[in-house]
Copies of this chain bind each other. A is one copy, B any other.
Amino acid sequence: MNVTGHTRRPASIRDVATAAGVSYQTVSRVINGHPSVRPSTRERVLAAIEELGFRRNATALALASGRSRAVTVLTANTTHYGYASILQGIEEAARAASYAVGIGVLESAEDAAVAAEVQRAADAGGGIVVIAYDPAGVRALAAVPAGLPVVGVVETPATPPGGDRPWVWADDREAAYQATRHLLSLGHETVHYVAIPSSTRRTSARTGGWRQALKEAGAPEPRPVQSSWGPAGGHAAGLKLARDPSVTAILCGNDDLALGVLRALHETGRPVPGEVSVAGFDDAPHSAFLTPSLTTVRLDFTGLGRSAFALLHGVLEESAPVAPHPVSVPELVVRESSGPPPAGT
């Protein structure tokens, strides 16, 4: 309406109050839907709000009420598929609940750096979601001071990370178990494992599922190959494994690693799936379009993010029902990269 060239200070509830001829408290009642406001009064206030383009100041609201309707997501990474999808799920749910979403990247797993980042997140005032799939995340989750509303997105339900704090998970253990069984069922003697960083600890869910499947089948358990997150790490691991002719099946900690492994096998002249079968983890969007397309396990990261937010939302507002630990069931997706072992073996 009012088009002066200058940027004017936005209208406050007191401005609205004078415009409507009521007290600021009445305005507050109207915007909060308090019942005992005479309809005619409400009408007038709403008109004034409309006319002045009033919007409730989020900062003042947070300061006065203590609640800030905000979530900060702490994560070691924003670009990898799994992380980015979880973040997206959180944002989606947060937006629906009109919460603001902040992010903090844990660039280093060093304690001081992690603590600093946790502090920053705590300063933001709202709730915190920590993606604790890796060392930095796990430490961050542990470093969140007690009493702060926090939810962890973790690898496995078997090891409660922060003791009493709520968490959500996709069942990586089950997923790794399924993928490994799939490969074994094709006739492979055993399955080698290329691990993402956190998954080397004995307690890791992905490693655990793989190990369990091997044990149940009475298959020998090769040493997992420690790797990084990206295709470069997978490539290096793949070159190593390719040298060993007994290797006929490889499970990778994520699809990016699998991509690197595929490339390494290609470079060393070992056809997939003719000689070696490869399975990934996560079902990233590109996996279906690789050549050969990648057998993998699909995890619902977006849903995981939504659940994390729902849980946090429940903690922040007692009114909101706390979701019962929602575990999304992983789904094996069989594609071209897995098949029976070569006949000669």
A interface list, Cβ under 8 A from B: 6-7, 55, 57-60, 62-63, 68, 78-79, 81, 84-85, 87-88, 91-92, 95, 98, 100-105, 107, 117, 119-120, 123-125, 146-148, 230-232, 234-235, 256, 259-260, 262-263, 266, 285-286, 288-291, 293
Q: What distance in Å separates the Cβ of A163 from its nearest Cβ neighbour in chain B?
A: 14
Q: What distance in Å separates the Cβ of A320 from its nearest Cβ neighbour in chain B?
A: 20
- Do A101 and B103 have beta carbons less than 8 Å apart? yes
Residues of chain B contacted by A79 (CB below 8 angstroms): 81, 84-85, 88, 285
Q: How far is the CA of A60 from the CA of B64 in the complex (A)?
A: 9
- Do B231 and A259 have beta carbons less than 8 Å apart? no
| A87 with B78, Cβ < 8 A, contacts A59-B63, A63-B59, A291-B263 known | yes
- Do B55 and A288 have beta carbons less than 8 Å apart? no
Residues of chain B contacted by A98 (CB below 8 angstroms): 120
Q: Which of B60, B101, B123 contacts A58 (CB 8 A)?
A: B123
Nearest residue, chain B, Cβ from A229: B285
Q: How far is the CA of A266 from the CA of B288 in the complex (A)?
A: 13
Q: What distance in Å separates the Cβ of A280 from its nearest Cβ neighbour in chain B?
A: 12
Q: What distance in Å separates the Cβ of A281 from its nearest Cβ neighbour in chain B?
A: 15
Q: What distance in Å separates the Cβ of A57 from its nearest Cβ neighbour in chain B?
A: 8
Which 3 A/B pairs are nearest by Cβ-Cβ distance?
A7-B147, A263-B289, A79-B84
- Do B291 and A291 have beta carbons less than 8 Å apart? yes
- Do A95 and B105 have beta carbons less than 8 Å apart? yes
